[in-house]
Amino acid sequence: MEKTTIPHLVLERIEKSIEDFDVPDDVKGVLEKEHDWLMFNEDGPRVMINHKKAFDEVCAEVDKGIEEGQIYFNVEDGTITFY
C-alpha cells in the first residue's frame, strides 16, 4: 500500500517534488510534517492557495477514490493510503 498526502500529489501534478524546495531539516522525510509545510508554511509552496486548480483536481480524484474504496484518508494526520 502506498501512503502519501494530497500536497505531495499536487506537486506531482505540477511536475515538482519535495526536493525542489528548501525544506527545513526537521520536516524533510517526515510525511506528515511535509504535508503541513507544503500546505500552510509561508516559506513553502502553500499548494492549496498557489496551485488551487491542481489542488482541486487532486481532491476530486481522492474523493472519488474514497467513494470507490480505493483510498483511505486519515483525517488525523492528512495522509492517504491507496489500496
pLDDT at 38 (0 to 100): 97
- The residues that bridge with 21 in the sheet, in sequence order, are none
The count of residues in the chain is: 83
What is the C-alpha to C-alpha distance for residues 52 and 32, in angstroms, rounded to an integer? 20
What is the per-residue pLDDT across 20-72, written as a single tens digit (0 to 9) for each? Answer: 999 999 999 999 999 999 999 999 999 999 999 999 999 999 999 999 999 99
* 72 burial via Cβ count (<10 Å: 0-12, 13-18, 19+): middle
Measured CA to CA in angstroms, residue 21 lies from 11, 12, 27, 79 at distances of 11, 13, 12, 20
Q: What is the pTM of this model?
A: 0.92
Domains of the chain by residue range: 2-82
Q: How confident is the model at residue 1 (pLDDT cuts 50, 70, 90)?
A: confident
